[in-house]
């Protein structure tokens, strides 16, 4: 009999496959049979590890949030300048979210909590917990008086989370996108008057 560490091995394969499928096709477009087929097992086998389809998505989503958070923390590293910290955070976020092969990160931007009937509250809590990081990052920034920081944060997250829609795995890499994005939000893109 496998110990607990090995016992967790089996669900890991299941989650990897489910993450890739959910990220590519969306929650409702992926059936339990699709997941089973991609694993080379029968549908019932999935239920030896997860009580329901929603719980599979919830597990993938939780893992996805954790991976994005880890990527953001790693990218920030020891940077101290608030704008530099924000740019690094964006790069980490983009790297996680654009990793279509892994899928975990993409699931968080692709699947809206409301799509998963039984687990929506849980997913919202996970997402809110992660977004608190960006709330803190934005709070550090020296912004013009009168700037709505919530709106600023949503603009930033919107731009970041929309990238999987148009970024076909090609084009500018995460670092380049993050650089221009933060530079624009910081000092603007308008040409200097002369």
Partner DNA sequence: GGGAATACTGAACGAACGTTCATTCAGCAG
Partner DNA sequence: CTGCTGAATGAACGTTCGTTCAGTATTCCC
Per the listing, tokens 């496998």 go with 2
Is 173 a residue that touches a second copy (CB under 8 A)?
Answer: no
In terms of C-beta density within 10 A (0-12 exposed, 13-18 middle, 19 or more buried), how is residue 159 classed?
middle
Whole-number Å distance between alpha carbons of 25 and 14: 16
Nearest CA to 102 out of 124, 81, 71 is that of: 71
Question: Binds 177, which of DNA, a second copy, none (CB < 5 to 8 A, cut-off by type)?
Answer: a second copy
Work out whether 124 is an interface residue with a second copy (CB under 8 A).
no
The CA distance from 13 to 33, in Å, is: 15
Measured from the CB atom, the residue of 19 and 69 that comes closer to DNA is: 19
Among 48, 129, 135, 155, binds a second copy (CB under 8 A): 155
Cα 140 to Cα 24, 80, 130, 160, distances in angstroms: 35, 10, 17, 19
188 binds, among a second copy, DNA, none (CB under 5 to 8 A by kind): a second copy
Question: Mask 101-120, x = binds a second copy (CB under 8 A)?
Answer: -----------x-xx-----
Give me the 29-68 binding string for DNA, x by CB under 7 A, dash otherwise. Answer: -xxxxx-x---xxxxxxxxxx-xxxx--------------
Contact 161, 109 (CB under 8 A): yes
Q: What CA–CA distance (Å, rounded) separates 55 from 61?
A: 10
Which residues contact a second copy by CB under 8 A?
25-26, 28-29, 83, 112, 114-115, 141-145, 147-148, 151-152, 154-163, 165-166, 172, 177, 180-181, 184-192
């Amino acid at each position: 009999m496998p110990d607990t560490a090995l016992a967790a091995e089996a669900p890991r394969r299941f989650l990897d496959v489910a993450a890739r499928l959910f990220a590519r096709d969306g929650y409702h477009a992926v059936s339990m049979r699709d997941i089973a087929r991609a694993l080379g097992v029968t549908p019932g086998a999935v239920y030896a590890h997860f009580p329901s389809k929603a719980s599979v998505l919830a597990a993938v989503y939780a893992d996805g949030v954790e991976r994005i958070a880890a990527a953001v923390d790693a990218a920030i590293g020891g940077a101290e300048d608030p704008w530099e910290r924000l740019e690094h955070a964006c790069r980490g976020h983009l790297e996680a979210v654009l990793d279509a092969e892994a899928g975990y990160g993409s699931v968080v931007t692709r699947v809206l909590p409301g799509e998963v009937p039984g687990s929506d509250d849980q997913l919202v809590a996970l997402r809110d917990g992660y977004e608190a990081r960006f709330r803190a990052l934005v709070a550090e920034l020296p912004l013009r008086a009168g700037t709505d920081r919530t709106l600023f944060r949503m603009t930033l997250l919107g731009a970041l989370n929309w990238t999987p829609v148009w970024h076909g795995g090609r084009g500018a890499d995460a670092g380049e996108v993050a650089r221009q994005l933060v530079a624009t939000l910081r000092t603007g893109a308008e040409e200097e008057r002369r």
